[in-house]
Amino acid sequence: MKKLLTLSTIAFAIISCTKTQFTAPAVSTGSANFTKFVSVGNSLTQGYMDGGLYFYGQSNSYPSIIAKQAQDANFNQPMVTGNGSGYIHLAFINNQLSPIQPSDSTFGPPINPDPSWVNWGTSLQSNSYCNLGISGITLDNTVALTPTEALINSTICANNPYGRFMSFGSFASPKVYIDNLRTCGATFFTCWLGSNDVLGYATAGGVPTVVVTFLGKITLNAITSPAIFAQKYDSILTVFNKMGAKGVCATIPDVTSIPFFNTVPSYVTVNGNKQFLYIRTAAGVRQATTQDHILLTAYDSVLAGKGLTASNPLSNPLVLDASEVDSIEIALAQYNSSIKSLAASFGFPVVDMYQYLGSLQQSIYVDGITFNRTFIQGGAIGLDGIHPDARGYALVANQFIQVINASFGATIPPADVTQFRGVLFP
């Protein structure tokens, strides 16, 4: 945050006829040893932005920003080249700004994946990296409680293109995420795992996917049991504790508060009157209420007239209904309670991202910029309606820095949010 001169300082400068000098405190990590600063997490840690993993997004991941502010020259990430996996961009269509998917060439040159993306990560060595975030990974995927689960989780992660830089072993000898952590050599860490344990369910409209494999039926996009969540979170923190690392954990934000769930209204206006859309839920077809969330992915369907009649309702995967929201909120409360209590048991401080990012539901004012959850124009969230833009990641980094400074006697300066890009307009 920028500091303002006080009236007394200005008066002193005038009286003395000399230029007032301001000396910023020397950058120090205090008792936090940044010799090997490691970040674990999902897409929020990896720097996923605008619906893709690309160089600019990774360069502005929140761990990268923390490392730069701490003058940590050793922090390195498994970087993609250029466009990486491809990402969403904006274009004017009929004088209206619209998000364009990476491969869509209808309205101009697409932002396709970089040619190197198909093989990205296959020759990288995870032990040399400090950012171990993997987009799409759940806390449930990171730890295996049985040999069968180890095979399932290693298979899921091995088929995740965003995790190709990490070793997941083989069918005969599977490895899971936590096995890689054991050899990471961290002296300091951040842990922001757990969002996907409810986000996958939410973005699927509360409809888990059952996949039949040679291992039997595997359910994807389900809410992780809070008891299992606590057990596996404890396992992750135990690894860091055993290697003598200090670190900071973060709570999980309210995933239903982001633009992805709050941009498309649950009604249309006909002749000046609100007409609530018809939606299909697990209990049947009914009209939506303000407690239901229409997903951003339903936008084109609503424009095409879907949901206007009971015979043509929005499909279940395009709606997160009120009962599904309740299930998410119950799980989130238990997850965050476990994060706080487990972190405290190890002496690790916690950044309350649930509280901080929840403030975007109204607005926050930082470095002369107003941020809120409005899609595209809100300032903190990118074009997928889920992940932060660079300014959003800077806000997140500053919350971690604040806790690091307070907990470890560090003097890491916060990032100047104005120096980071928001959504890029055409």
pLDDT digits (tens, 9 = 90+) for 211-235: 887 777 888 999 999 999 999 999 9
Question: Is the pLDDT higher at 123 or at 361?
Answer: 361
State the Cα–Cα distance between residues 78 and 269, nearest whole angstrom: 48
Angle formed by the axes of helices 322-346 and 226-242, nearest 10°: 30
What is the average pLDDT value for the chain, to the nearest integer?
91
Question: Is the pLDDT higher at 54 or at 269?
Answer: 54
Position 293, amino acid: H
* Strand-pair partners of 281: 284
Asked whether 32 and 119 are in contact (CB, 8 A), the reply is no
Q: Write down the pLDDT at residue 328.
A: 98
Residue 315 pLDDT greater than 70, yes or no: yes
**Segment 345-376, tens digit of pLDDT:** 999 999 999 999 998 888 898 988 999 989 99
Whole-model pTM over 0.85: yes
Residue 49 pLDDT greater than 80, yes or no: yes
**Segment 129-161, tens digit of pLDDT:** 999 999 999 999 999 999 999 999 999 999 999
Asked whether 375 and 385 are in contact (CB, 8 A), the reply is yes
Asked whether 33 and 186 are in contact (CB, 8 A), the reply is no
**Segment 30-46, tens digit of pLDDT:** 999 999 999 999 999 99
Tell me the three state secondary structure of residue 191: strand
> 29 — alpha (psi -120 to 50), left (phi > 0) or beta?
alpha
**For the purposes of burial, counting CB atoms within 10 Å of the CB of 4, is it exposed (0-12), middle (13-18) or buried (19 or more)?**
exposed
State the Cα–Cα distance between residues 73 and 386, nearest whole angstrom: 30
State the Cα–Cα distance between residues 110 and 395, nearest whole angstrom: 30
Domains of the chain: 7-263+322-419 (3.40.50.1110)
Asked whether 312 and 277 are in contact (CB, 8 A), the reply is no
**Segment 242-264, tens digit of pLDDT:** 999 999 999 999 999 999 999 99
Residue 20 pLDDT greater than 80, yes or no: no
What's the mean pLDDT in 42-71?
Answer: 98
Range 387-423 burial, b when 16+ CB lie within 10 A, else e:
bbbbbbbbbbbbbbbebbbebbebebebbebeebebb
Name the helix (H) or strand (E) containing 56: helix 55-59
Residue 286 pLDDT greater than 80, yes or no: yes
What tokens appear for 36 in the block? 């090997």
Q: Provide the pLDDT confidence category of residue 23 given band limits of 50, 70 and 90.
A: low
